[in-house]
Structure 1
């Protein structure tokens, strides 16, 4: 049986921009209880309130699901993405497809370029960890034998990567761009590893030829 909060989320999925009274009627509880649940859902980042003009007088408050709230419901995005990638690979040369993935990473890295200025190596690693978390990754890093190892414990691209491993170049390129150093993959979950691991050699450790 669905909880009251789940019923509210489901109602907003079916009818965005609902008022408290709309939700009370849809869910079958009183408006005071709806307001309490909405407050909690807003604090969790699943719902947001917006003012809406409605005739003469003060705007009324309506509620919609946030992007995070939308993610609570099953979607067919993965199937669509897989089909799009298959079509791209059938109609475009391999180097062009690779360049597109590389450009995605470069564009994303450029958005954070100003935030990375004057950061130490380990501050950059923490920044990358937090940034990738926003993209859906679970990342940890450690210093080992003078190098830095970056472990992707979970990856939002995993299911797509099974059929299209090229997608893995996005996070590898992104890490390299953000740290301004090559990130060498030494373990991949697609090859049976426990997780994906990248090794980055600090500038001070790079040996001149």
Structure 2
């Protein structure tokens, strides 16, 4: 059975930048106990807190895993990947680096081209949701008016993206290719949002 400490760490892995009350609800223990565990985890260097303003009033504290906390999970590649990307960016022009990330997404999308042919928009969205889940994302989508919003609740690239935001082009390009429509990013966790959101606007058919 997982300890409460492990449950808190796993919750922060899936949902970075959440409050004590949100953590308490997610792991099903009272906020006072959560605060106690968070204090210990901060002392161990596994999590960090930051103040975030949310409208009028006092800022609130949100919590995330540190790099050391991330490495408690099967992500030992994090430091190596970050260093490799830094070296690549020093050796190559910026546009070429972005092009490489785009090509990674395009190659992945091409593997599934035959499986999405003939699917409706919402069927494609479900397909994208499952595909991104296989890549380590937690994704939800919703329809608002004539557009679709795709929310990435958690992102496996988050820690890498802090130093190398170009990596975000991978999922954006993948979504665009799978839906055959531009996916416009309107919210990003790297800019302080709680998650990333893409908006897709289907082309209206003129009669």
TM-score, structure 1 length as denominator? 0.63
Secondary structure at the aligned position of 1:171 is classed as helix
Rounded to whole Å, the distance in 2 between the matches of 1:73 and 1:110 is: 30
Residue of structure 1 equivalent to 2:102 = 102
Calculate the aligned-residue CA RMSD, in Å: 2.1
Q: 1:75 to 1:122 in 2, by over 3 A?
A: closer
Rounded to whole Å, the distance in 2 between the matches of 1:131 and 1:86 is: 28
1:158-202 C-alpha deviation (Å, 9 max, x unpaired): 000000000000000000000000000000000011100000001
Note the C-alpha offset of 1:204.
1.6
Residue of structure 1 equivalent to 2:149 = 149
TM-score, structure 2 length as denominator? 0.63
1:130 counterpart = 2:130: yes
Residue of structure 2 equivalent to 1:182 = 182
Structure 1: 4+ residue segments shifted above 2 A = 71-76
Rounded to whole Å, the distance in 1 between the matches of 2:193 and 2:125 is: 22
1:95-135 C-alpha deviation (Å, 9 max, x unpaired): 11011000000000000000000000000000000010000
| More deviation, 171-180/72-81 | 72-81
Note the C-alpha offset of 1:76.
2.4
Taking the TM superposition and a 5 Å limit, the aligned residue runs for 1:43-192 are 74-192=74-192
Residue of structure 2 equivalent to 1:194 = 194
Q: 1:140 to 1:74 in 2, by over 3 A?
A: closer
Aligned residues between the structures: 138
Secondary structure at the aligned position of 1:162 is classed as helix
Secondary structure at the aligned position of 1:152 is classed as strand
Rounded to whole Å, the distance in 2 between the matches of 1:75 and 1:202 is: 37
More relative contact order in 1 or in 2 (CA 8 Å, sep 6+)? 2
Unaligned runs of 5+ in 1: 3-70
